[in-house]
Structure 1
Amino acid sequence: MTGASTENRAVERAVRATLHWSLRYTTGLDPVVAADRQHEILSDLHEQAAWASEAGISERAVARSIRARMLRGIPADLSWRRTQLTGEERAMWSAPRVDGLLLAAVMLIGIAQVAVGAFIAARQTRALLIGDITFIPSSAEITIALGSIALVATALLWHRSTRHWGAALLAVTGVLIFAQSVESLYYLSATALLVINGVTWLEPAAYAIGFGVAIVCLAAAAQWAKPVHLTSAATARKEAR
């Protein structure tokens, strides 16, 4: 299979995924309204692909942009469906607003991870100074290292061009840092030792939180990884019609 055909199929899969989603959220609506919505989406996708072809943008970049637009548009699509069913106009979630909320969520995740790493570092230092412990547990080393990486990742969120890398790093650190911090406190805090022994589900819960954090960060990384000009140009063409 050639590289060109692989890229073309990537765009086809992205288009099919978008159309499949449109069929899902228009199910049960007036057939004419549903058909108009799907035709509008097809037209928009066609214009985006045509513009990208003229601009020399790769098919893979177009496919990523189509999928990202579909994910970002889910709240607006659901709001549109609710309006069609109830006849009540509701506030639409614009793309900038969704992006801002997502950035705030990922930024909060980054700050929380940095705080966890700093807290374990402080507890470890205190334990060594007062003689409660004479070694550094591997879980504490891992937690401190992950907190340091999270600090760098959070800094990357400030710039649009590096934001997706920051979110991706926070997804990786998020999977482990909370569970490792719980294990660290087993050695560094007598109170935490009693809690951990009494609450057997604490560490699995920490892993569950970590995986949830990772999903949010990966979704953000997928959105921010797309070229910014793809969506704005396609939107401008649509508005110019």
Structure 2
Amino acid sequence: MSGVLRSAEYRLAARRVLRWTAWYTRGLDPAVAGARQDEIASDLHEHARWAEESGVDADELARSIRGRALRGAPADLAWRAGALQRLDPRLRSMRRIEFSLLAIVVTIGVVDAALGAFVAVRLVRALLIGDVAEVPSAAIGAVGLGAIALIATFALAGPRQRGWAALLLAVPTALIFTQTAQALSSLSATAVLLVNRVSWWQPAALAVGLALAAVCVTAAVHWLRPARTAARSVRADASTPNEGVPHA
């Protein structure tokens, strides 16, 4: 029974299915998620045993597993939706708040990174056509802040470092709006006209940056709390049934 079960083709296909299973069971009660993952792993093993006993080669088995995974994906997502519906209402509400907060912070990070990228493009254009003889310090600052924001935004994907990433993101967020405006006033004639006509642009840009930075800090405090006592107590009280039909 060693051939198919130990083949690279089977192991690769099985790893992909198990990664997919881990993804759609994320955030559920650990017992429920673990039971589902165990079912899928057992199903994959039985599939491989059947293939070996039936004389199916490793390539055909891997194709069969991939096909089953694709066909079963809608049912897997439906299973997840049902598992979420069976969660305690308090825990479900907490998850919605958590998702909304993450979406807001990620949006802030994307905006910051986009501003830095825009300044970088304008700077390169200005240098190429000779609009500026040297690189303005404000442009360097805006591009650097955008790069920091991009790194922090990617770091938000990891739950363990999410709080520190949000705290890091607060720094470029507080400064990038004023830095971008200053940079564009050196790189764009339109921006110069706008700056001259709108005398309150600098305090307005600073106010927007500080307000959004405050959102990042609030999210960081939420994610850096030493223990999710409330969430764990709710999860402990939840009575989610450990059931589900695998669709690997």
Smaller-chain TM-score range?
A: 0.5 to 0.7
Q: What do residues 40-70 of structure 1 show as CA deviations (whole Å, max 9, x unaligned)?
A: xxxxxxxxxxxxxxxxxxxxxxxxxxxxxxx
Partner Cα separation in structure 1 for residue 98 and residue 158 of structure 2 = 14
* Alignment match, 1:94: 93
* Alignment match, 2:148: 149
Quote how far apart the aligned CAs of 1:233 are.
2.6
Quote how far apart the aligned CAs of 1:94 are.
1.1
Q: What do residues 61-113 of structure 1 show as CA deviations (whole Å, max 9, x unaligned)?
A: xxxxxxxxxxxxxxxxxxxxxxxxxxxxxxx9811111111111000000000
Between 1 and 2, higher relative CO (CA 8 Å, sep ≥ 6) is seen in 2
Q: Name the aligned partner's letter for residue 161 of structure 1.
A: R
User: Aligned pairs, how many?
Assistant: 150
Partner Cα separation in structure 1 for residue 175 and residue 154 of structure 2 = 20
Distance 1:208 1:93, change over 3 A: farther
Partner Cα separation in structure 2 for residue 140 and residue 95 of structure 1 = 41
* Alignment match, 2:131: 132
* TM-score normalised per structure 2: 0.57
Partner Cα separation in structure 1 for residue 235 and residue 118 of structure 2 = 48
* Alignment match, 1:116: 115
Within a 5 Å distance, the mapping from 1:30-69 to structure 2 comes to none
Structure 2 unpaired stretches of 5+: 1-90, 240-248
Partner Cα separation in structure 2 for residue 137 and residue 170 of structure 1 = 23
Partner Cα separation in structure 2 for residue 183 and residue 219 of structure 1 = 28
Partner Cα separation in structure 1 for residue 230 and residue 135 of structure 2 = 49
Across the aligned residues of Structure 1 and Structure 2, the Cα RMSD in angstroms comes to 2.1
Q: Name the aligned partner's letter for residue 93 of structure 2.
A: S
2:190 aligned counterpart, secondary structure: helix
Partner Cα separation in structure 1 for residue 173 and residue 101 of structure 2 = 16
2:123 aligned counterpart, secondary structure: helix
Quote how far apart the aligned CAs of 1:226 are.
2.2
* Alignment match, 1:195: 194
Q: Name the aligned partner's letter for residue 180 of structure 2.
A: S
Partner Cα separation in structure 1 for residue 156 and residue 236 of structure 2 = 29
* Alignment match, 1:214: 213
* Alignment match, 1:186: 185
Quote how far apart the aligned CAs of 1:162 are.
1.1
Partner Cα separation in structure 2 for residue 229 and residue 221 of structure 1 = 14
1:114 aligned counterpart, secondary structure: helix
Quote how far apart the aligned CAs of 1:165 are.
1.4
* Alignment match, 1:161: 160
Quote how far apart the aligned CAs of 1:170 are.
1.2
Structure 1 unpaired stretches of 5+: 1-91
Q: Percent identity among equivalent residues?
A: 44
Q: What do residues 169-213 of structure 1 show as CA deviations (whole Å, max 9, x unaligned)?
A: 111111100001000011000011000000011111110000000
Partner Cα separation in structure 1 for residue 92 and residue 214 of structure 2 = 21
